[in-house]
């Protein structure tokens, strides 16, 4: 059996409800809530709950997910083959999440996967969290998100090896590598070559928003694909309408988005490890920041815009609009299941179309 086939088999054992190709909704902080995570898994993908403002809030979200899954099992055949594992994953920002609270939630609800990202102390934190999670729930697989070749190699040297590695390219929205990131087209195959023989499945994230990007990532060697921004424009996203409208409206990702810490600071979010910064859609706050307006003035206008609600987003808005460079590929809000199905069909369509005209 080839390595690719062996990995596909091991993935289908761990996530038996997931169809091929393996499609994942990213754990976007707050915005990937219970409804989105369950809808994606129910559609044959793997949904992740995003990190919470406070780790304690995760418990409430997991309770809601648990109830949703319980109802699905009673009313249909969905997830009927599962016994004790919750068919959704949970994401953590290691530098800000509380380990003890996380562990108690994992122990109680047994999510099928825990996605670890953004440690303050690199591999040490990954090892510590992984060991504690495995101790609390042997069914919970460890997913680790990296964005550089060096991080990928570091994972092989840790005391705890992840079950899945997510390689995030520079086109991704929200937080990623501040300065040493790169697009998937070169980063992903180079990481895959470096990890060859490790037997760890590798998933691709960053810039994938439709069947074309998903098919491309699979060709580059990914065992599955992760989408974030595409799911911000889903019915189930826990997101303000003004924010979501802006994801749909914006286009030309190279020009309309940038990486900057400005919006973190305007929101009062401090403390991200310095390796990371978020990609966001540019609006008045950033433009005026570039023009040299003072932070205090920008903060005042930002806080006024907060009170305006949905009108605070958009080209003339001032609020953080974290999003990936794939915004130009997203033209409408759909329910999460439709997104999963369309991307899956899009992958098949691409393989068929390329075969007919190019091969």
Nearer to a second copy, 11 or 86 (CB): 11
Please identify which residue in 196, 306, 308, 353 interacts with a second copy, judged by CB under 8 A: 353
* Cα(236)–Cα(245) distance, integer angstroms: 14
- 351 is an interface residue for a second copy by CB under 8 A: yes
Nearer to a second copy, 49 or 192 (CB): 192
- 208 is an interface residue for a second copy by CB under 8 A: yes
* CB of 137 vs a second copy, minimal distance in Å: 28
* CB of 146 vs a second copy, minimal distance in Å: 12
Please identify which residue in 178, 189, 248, 337 interacts with a second copy, judged by CB under 8 A: 189
- 324 is an interface residue for a second copy by CB under 8 A: yes
* CB of 145 vs a second copy, minimal distance in Å: 16
Nearer to a second copy, 133 or 218 (CB): 218
- 319 is an interface residue for a second copy by CB under 8 A: no
Site size toward a second copy, by CB under 8 A:
61
Nearer to a second copy, 74 or 356 (CB): 356
* Three-state DSSP string of 70-122: HHHHHHCCCCCCCCCCEEEEEEEECCCCCHHHHHHHHHHHCEEEEEEECCCCH
HSE, side-chain direction, 13 A CA sphere, residue 113: 29
Alpha-carbon Rg for the chain, nearest whole angstrom, is 20
Nearer to a second copy, 181 or 278 (CB): 181
- 217 is an interface residue for a second copy by CB under 8 A: yes
Please identify which residue in 24, 142, 209, 227 interacts with a second copy, judged by CB under 8 A: 209
Nearer to a second copy, 51 or 207 (CB): 207
- 190 is an interface residue for a second copy by CB under 8 A: yes
Positions 240 through 269 that interact with a second copy (CB under 8 A): 251-255
- 220 is an interface residue for a second copy by CB under 8 A: yes
- 184 is an interface residue for a second copy by CB under 8 A: yes
Site string for a second copy, 223-242 (x = CB under 8 A): x-------------------
Positions 9 through 68 that interact with a second copy (CB under 8 A): 20-22
CB burial readout 121-134, b (16+ within 10 A) else e:
eebebbbbbbebbb
Sole window of 2-10, 78-86, 288-296, 315-323 interacting with a second copy (rule: CB under 8 A): 2-10
* CB of 252 vs a second copy, minimal distance in Å: 5
Nearer to a second copy, 67 or 353 (CB): 353
Would you say 62 and 45 are in contact if contact means Cβ atoms under 8 Å apart?
Answer: no
* Three-state DSSP string of the chain: CCHHHHHHHHHHHHCCCCCCCCEEECCCCCCCCHHHHHHHHHCCCEEEECCCCCHHHHHHHHHHHHHHHHHHHHHCCCCCCCCCCEEEEEEEECCCCCHHHHHHHHHHHCEEEEEEECCCCHHHHHHHHHHHHHHHCCCCEEEEEECCHHHHHHHHHCCCCCCEEEEECCCCCEEEECCCCCCHHHHHHHHHHHCCCCCCCEEEECCCCCHHHHHHHHHHCCCEEEECHHHHCECCCCCCHHHHHHHHHCCCHHHHEEECCHHHHHHCCCCCCCCEEEEEECCHHHHHHHCCCCHHHHHHHHHHHHHCHHHHCCCCCCCCCECCHHHHHCCCCECHHHHHHHHHHHHHHHHHHHHHHHC
Nearer to a second copy, 5 or 84 (CB): 5
Site string for a second copy, 126-155 (x = CB under 8 A): ----------------------xxx-----
What is the contact surface with a second copy in residues (CB under 8 A)? Answer: 2, 4-5, 7-8, 20-22, 148-150, 169-171, 180-187, 189-190, 193, 206-210, 212-213, 215-221, 223, 251-255, 324-326, 328-329, 347-348, 350-351, 353-359
């Amino acid at each position: 059996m080839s390595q690719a086939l062996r990995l596909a088999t091991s993935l289908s054992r761990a996530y038996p409800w997931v169809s091929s190709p393996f499609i994942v909704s990213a754990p976007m902080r707050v915005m990937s809530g219970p409804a989105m995570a369950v809808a994606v898994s129910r559609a044959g993908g793997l949904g992740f709950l995003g990190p919470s403002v406070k780790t304690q809030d995760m418990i409430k979200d997991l309770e809601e997910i648990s109830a949703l899954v319980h109802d699905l099992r009673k009313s249909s055949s969905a997830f009927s083959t599962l016994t004790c594992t919750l068919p959704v994953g949970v994401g953590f920002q290691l530098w800000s999440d509380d380990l003890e609270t996380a562990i108690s939630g994992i122990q109680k609800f047994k999510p099928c996967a825990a996605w670890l990202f953004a440690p303050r102390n690199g591999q040490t934190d990954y090892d510590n969290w992984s060991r504690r999670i495995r101790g609390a729930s042997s069914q919970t697989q460890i997913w680790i998100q990296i964005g550089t070749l060096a991080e990928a190699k570091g994972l092989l040297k840790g005391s705890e090896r992840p079950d899945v590695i997510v390689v995030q390219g520079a086109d991704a929205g929200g937080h990623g590598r501040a300065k040493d990131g790169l697009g998937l087209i070169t980063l992903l195959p180079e990481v895959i070559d470096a990890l060859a023989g490790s037997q760890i499945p590798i998933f691709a994230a960053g810039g994938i928003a439709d069947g074309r990007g998903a098919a491309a990532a699979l060709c580059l060697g990914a065992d599955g694909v992760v989408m974030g921004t595409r799911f911000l424009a889903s019915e189930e996203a826990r997101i303000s309408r003004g924010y979501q409208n802006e994801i749909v409206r914006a286009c030309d990702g190279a020009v309309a988005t940038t990486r900057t810490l400005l919006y973190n600071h305007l929101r009062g979010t401090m403390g991200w490890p310095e390796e990371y910064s978020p990609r966001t859609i540019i609006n008045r706050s950033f433009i005026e920041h570039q023009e040299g307006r003072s932070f205090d003035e920008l903060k005042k206008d930002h806080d006024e815009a907060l009170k305006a609600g949905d009108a605070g987003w958009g080209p003339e808005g001032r609020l953080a609009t974290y999003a990936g460079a794939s915004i130009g590929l997203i033209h409408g809000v759909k329910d999460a299941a439709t997104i999963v199905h369309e991307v899956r069909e899009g992958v098949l369509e691409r393989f068929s179309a390329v075969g007919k005209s190019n091969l």
